[in-house]
Structure 1
Amino acid sequence: MFPKNQLDSIFVEEDQIPEEFKLSEEVHQREYLSNGEMHTWSGEVHEVLSPVCIRTETGLQRKLIGTYPLCSEKEADAALQAAVKAYDNGRGEWPTMSVADRIYCVEQFTHRIIEKKAVVVKLLMWEIGKSYADSLKEFDRTVEYIYATIDALKDLDRQSSKFSIEQGIVAQIRRSPLGVVLCMGPFNYPLNETFTTLIPALIMGNTLLFKPPKHGTLLHYPLLEAFRDCFPKGVVNTIYGRGNKIIPDLMKSGQVNVLTLIGSSKVANELKKLHPKVNRLRAILGLDAKNAAIITSKADVKLAVQETVLGALSFNGQRCTALKIIFIHSSLAEGFLEELSAEVAKLKIGMPWEQGVALTPLPEPHKPAYLKECIADALANGARVVNAHGGESCESFVYPAVVYPVDKNMKLYTEEQFGPVIPVVPFNDLEEPIQYLIDSTHGQQVSIFSNDDEEVAALIDPLVNQVSRVNINCQCQRGPDVFPFTGRKDSAEGTLSVVDALRSFSIRSLVATKLNDSNKHLINEIVDSNSSNFLSTKYLF
């Protein structure tokens, strides 16, 4: 355990960083991919400062990792026109390409990015402060997701390789692309969650505008040449710059067919309103969440504590699926808080490269001040910080705070803290947490902790109509990736999973004709000659 008021001891001097985890050099990106070419940028750039602070003679300073372009509306529009041209109203090379050929391109791309694993993982660690072990997991999970997507598309295409005959009409039903996709990922999983939308959008034949997240930008730079080399010209285009400057005009143009964003519901709402024909815009969104745990009087307290620590503090609580408010039955509150505080104290704090580290610095510069404000608001309204050192901070690091008793008068009751603060709410009647979920603007997931089958059953039925996933005696989570991932209310739009994402970024299309001798001959000629990529009975292996 660290000495009181000595959190700054976790930060080290430059020469104390292990050699294998040092960046060989700063990454000063001066290129962006647009219309199949790497363009050189000579304008304004953004400095990327790591959440990892370095001890210097003048105090702690965030380490400079590098810089990236801050392009203007002009470059963003050029990228949009490249994507529009590559799609060419559905007549472009990519949207009309066979499924087998698109899969081949994605496979080649995957081989190329695996070669960049070491540098991407290291940048992931330095840019957002994610532990090296978890950064490795994020990269590996992303590759696994790509291969799972390929397998799912093969299955989907096999099912579509046959003809259906109904009421004298013969038809073949397949999925076709939607158009130009604007893809914006989150900072907390800047590789994995970005690719869980980007890859299915791409493999289904859409063309892309890809804006990396503000935190977690540089790690995509080593992948740009693979995008350029593995896909036709203009299919993948990157846009850099301040989102509030370059994104509005893209939406106003009406040329974006799909908006995929993992981030704020407020931002998503504002962007959708800018589109001149919202009915033509498909949105696939992963948004805010305030996932609750409900620990009943019949719960296993030890298990609830273990899952709460994992659910609330994995990657410092910076996950949309994190447990962000805990409802505990009053009869168990004292013991739960004692055990929870003890388990939090066992978590290792430190730098991302340290083995076994659980709590690391936060990438958002404003986050420590915001969390301090939330805790102060709770204290002013009658709560207390239960655990030793809870809420103490030093530069980019904030030590987890268990705050109790939280009520509806406090920010922590409704606002998504997205950080290492665990609000705990006592209750006596199960109607209280149920009503919380009904009143909440969020509707992603909930965790129920109880060993009573009748009690759990009574909770399941109302809660599945409030959230998209009910977890029993375990934390909220996204995986496995084959399971649907979505939310109600302001938490999501559209569904993501390996299979659902393919459907989300495409639409069912069919070719149909009356079943007579002339049309039979016509269809057989097309199929036998392999002259159509859509009307085909080829079977993918």
Structure 2
Amino acid sequence: MNGHDLHPADASEFELDGCFLDKADATQPKPPYRPLEKYLINGILREWNGPVSDVFSPIRYRGSSEKIKLGTYPLLSGKDALEILDSAHKAYNYGHGEWPSMTTAQRIDVVSKFVNKLKEKRDEIIELIMWEICKTQKDSQKEVDRTIEYVEKTVEALKSLENKDNAFIEDGGTVAQIRRRALGVVLCSGPFNYPFNETYATLIPALIMGNTVVMKLPRVGVLCHVPTFEIFRDVFPKGVVNVLPGTGRETLPPIMASGKIDCFAFIGSTNAADALVKAHPAPHKLRMCLGLEAKNPAIILPDADLDVAVSECVLGSLSYNGQRCTAIKVIFVHESIAKPFLDKFATSVDSMKLGVPWMKDVKITPLPEENKPNYIHQLMDDAIAKGAKIVNPKGGKFDRTLITPPILFPCNEHMRVMQEEQFGPLVPVASFSSISEVEEYFHKSKYGQQAAIFGKDPKELSRLIDSLTYQVARVNINTQCQRGPDVFPFTGRKDSSIGTLSINDALRVFSIRVMVATAETLKVNTEIVTKIVRNNDSTFLRLEHIF
């Protein structure tokens, strides 16, 4: 079954066709066409004359399966990828390259110039995100604005960190200065669902700490990066930022197998991450920052405020169609309130407006992954075959790239949807009589990112908090699972994450603490250090306050 050709017999009853574009309506926004014809290597935007892949929008025209072409992107080979890696490696040059040799203040000036130019491309990037991955206009704007704010806050955080490390430390006859230094060459690979924000969440801290970067573009969500290429070329020294388009299967294994990657920043599946890490010949050299799968549960206790629980679970499970690692992906509701919760939840989910990203108040949009509708259909069919039912009247209708989100109940551990991360608009719900049943689910789960708990009794909540904080990395009380604000740590247990990202944590992830020390008992040593500092001969030994 082809997910793009799913047409229910009763589609007209739910008017899904009306949620797409009217080709005859001249007032509708026109699709952009932005082919990616060049890629950035060693400070040059190199023309690509090889094979390409077409980029289509998930948006369709009414009454048609015609695909809207937005552009193309180059399908680079493994050999091309190694040439890009070589550019980054030479630019780093074991720390002797122009970029790592700069002072922190100089790198901050470059990144600040970059973000100011990035603001000029804001609207263009937003438009491309809407058309290519069908994020609502409001959420597309939020993604770009949040990214710009993230860059600016990273600059301020590094200033604070650098100024804190400015002093010399004396202890036991040793005087030393401790700073953070770059790791080397970083491979950054971002996801389709936040192609801009999540890529920059690793790219910017890696760069500002003095690393050089190979930026692997996502296969879906690739075009929003096109407006930035000239900025990278014009602002950063050559070879510091290198852009790698193409399929991950073709380009990433040779890069990892080369052994020249010092840090691997990846957001995606556990299987893909494992395969790439195993390809690296020096695993103890490789630093990793991995954002992987999650199966975040919501737990609705008997005394929960149902209006709050329903509102937060709707947002938490179906914002951007549930295509977020932080989304609520399974709901456990106490059996005593299962019916009233499901009644309210079903009503709220069925009231969510379907349509294209710029429609007013739209909540559910077309899915950008080609096979996702078919996958959601498989999960739904498996759960129904094992005893679940779709409890919301409008749920489970498919039309090309649109799905009306199904709520499945009662779900059990034998269903695929209870074990797999659906990453889409489908919500499994299970009931429980004892909280020990839910705790057992956590104990068996291979995931451990977040949980959301809804209730009022402080003692019961306290007991659950103390239990869950050994299973997940964030517990949300009477609110949805989410990432942010970006000053808070974002991480996970088990197979959900390696490393921690926040504005401050990311600076540490992409650097290492290094110390220069001497015996202060010998006057000649302190005199040498004093001269180095006074003459500004070193980018490491310095007493420079960054304003």
Show the 5 A alignment for 1:411-430.
411-430=416-435
CA-based RMSD of the aligned residues comes to: 1.1
Where does structure 2 lack aligned partners over 5 or more consecutive residues? 1-10
**Structure-2 separation of matches of 1:17 and 1:437:** 52
Task: Name the counterpart of 1:130.
Answer: 135
Judge conservation of contact 1:484–1:495 (CA < 8 Å) in 2: yes
Q: Is the 8 A contact 2:518 2:525 kept in 1?
A: yes
Q: Residue deviations 1:204-251, cap 9 Å, x none?
A: 000000111111101101100111111111000011111111110100
What residue is the counterpart of 1:364 in the other structure?
Answer: 369
Shift of 1:55: 3.3
* Cα distance between partner residues in 2 of 1:16 and 1:470: 47
Is the CA contact 1:55–1:61 (under 8 Å) kept in the aligned structure 2? Answer: no
Residue deviations 1:60-108 (CA, integer Å, cap 9, x gap): 2221111111111121111100000000011111112100000011011
- The CA distance in 2 between the partners of 1:17 and 1:148, in whole Å, is 42
How far apart, CA to CA, are the structure 1 residues paired with 2:294 and 2:403? 21
Alignment of 1:271-420 (within 5 A): 271-420=276-425
Name the SS of the counterpart of 1:326 in structure 2: strand
Residue 22 (str. 1) matches residue 30 (str. 2): yes
Structure 1 position 391, deviation (Å): 1.1
Cα distance, 1:3 vs structure 2: 5.3
Q: What is the aligned residue count?
A: 536
Residue 35 of structure 2 aligns to which amino acid in structure 1?
H
> Is the Cα contact below 8 Å between 2:21 and 2:59 reproduced in 1?
no
Query: 2:438 and 2:244 mapped to 1: Cα distance?
Result: 43
Letter in 2 for 1:16: D
TM-superposed deviation, 1:14? 2.8
Match of 1:50 among 57, 60, 65: 57
Q: Which amino acid aligns with 2:524?
A: S
Matched, 1:32 2:54: no
Partner of 2:451: 446
Tell me the equivalent position of 1:527: 533
- Secondary structure of 2:180's match? strand
Compute the displacement of 1:17 (Å).
Answer: 6.3
Would the aligned equivalents of 2:218 and 2:245 in 1 still touch at CA under 8 Å? Answer: no
1:181 aligns with 2:186: yes
- What residue in structure 2 maps to residue 11 of structure 1? 20
4+ residue runs over 3 A deviation = none
1:207–1:236 Cα contact (<8 Å) kept:
yes
Could you say what secondary structure the match of 1:43 adopts? Answer: coil
Does the aligned pair in 2 maintain the 1:176–1:506 contact within 8 Å? yes
Deviation of 1:13 after TM superposition, in Å, equals 2.5
Q: CA deviation at 1:113?
A: 1.2
Tell me the secondary structure at the aligned position of residue 353 of structure 1: coil
In structure 2, distance between residues paired with 1:198 and 1:391: 38
8 Å Cα contact 2:350/2:394 also seen in 1: no
The 1-side partners of 2:81 and 2:164 are apart by 39
Residue by residue over 1:476-497, the C-alpha shift from the partner in whole angstroms, topping out at 9 and shown as x without a partner, is: 0011100000000000000000
d(CA) in 1 for partners of 2:415 and 2:293? 18
SS in 1 for 2:150: helix
| 2:215 pairs with 1:210 | yes
The one-letter amino acid paired with 1:523 is: V
Amino acid at match of 2:470: N
Compared with structure 1, are the counterparts of its residues 15 and 104 closer, same or farther at alpha carbon in structure 2 (3 Å cutoff)? Answer: farther
Distance 2:545 2:237 in 1: 24
- What's the counterpart of residue 3 of structure 2? none
Contact 1:4 1:389 in 2 (8 A): no
Shift, 1:15, TM fit: 4.0
SS at match of 1:94: helix
CA contact (8 A) 2:182 2:211 kept: yes
Secondary structure (helix, strand or coil) at the match of 2:99 reads coil
CA shift digits 1:176-205 (9 cap, x unpaired): 000100110010000001100000001000
Q: Distance in 2 between matches of 1:372 and 1:136?
A: 31
Task: Indicate the residue corresponding to 1:159 in structure 2.
Answer: 164
Q: Secondary structure at the match of 1:426?
A: strand
What residue is the counterpart of 2:198 in the other structure? 193
Q: Paired residue for 1:536?
A: 542
**Which of 139, 148, 158 is the aligned partner of 2:144?**
139
CA distance in 1, matches of 2:374, 2:79: 36
Matches within 5 A, 1:105-120: 105-120=110-125
Amino acid across the alignment from 1:13: D
Question: Match of 1:176, as an amino acid?
Answer: R
Distance across 1 between alignment mates of 2:149 and 2:102 = 24
CA–CA separation in structure 2 for the residues paired with 1:247 and 1:335: 49
Structure 1 pair 491–535 and aligned structure 2 pair: CA distance change class (3 A): same
Q: Which amino acid aligns with 2:185?
A: V
Q: Secondary structure at the match of 2:66?
A: strand
Structure 1 unmatched runs, 5+: none
Give the aligned residue type for 1:144.
E
Taking the aligned partners of 2:26 and 2:423, their CA distance within structure 1 comes to: 28
The residue type paired with residue 76 of structure 1 is A
Query: Contact 2:181/2:513 (CA < 8 Å) preserved in 1?
Result: yes
Partner Cα separation in structure 1 for residue 372 and residue 386 of structure 2 = 21
The one-letter code of the counterpart of 1:345 is D
Tell me by how many angstroms 1:128 deviates.
Answer: 0.1
Q: Is the 8 A contact 1:447 1:475 kept in 2?
A: yes
Supply the distance in 2 between the matched residues of 1:163 and 1:154 (Cα, whole angstroms): 17
| 1:396 partner letter | T
Partner of 1:255: 260
CA distance in 2, matches of 1:218, 1:243: 16
- Structure-2 separation of matches of 1:310 and 1:191: 22
**Number of the residue aligned with 1:493:** 498
For the pair 1:229 / 2:234, whether they are aligned, the reply is yes
- Whichever residue aligns with residue 129 of structure 2, its letter is L
TM-score (norm 2): 0.97
Q: Distance in 2 between matches of 1:532 and 1:207?
A: 20
Further displaced range: 303-312 or 346-355: 346-355
Structure 2 residue 174 is matched with structure 1 residue 169 = yes
Indicate the SS of the match to 1:95: helix
1:61-100 matches, within 5 Å, as 61-100=66-105
Is the CA contact (8 Å cut-off) linking 1:29 and 1:68 kept in structure 2?
Answer: yes
Contact (CA 8 Å) 1:368, 1:396: kept in 2 or not?
A: yes
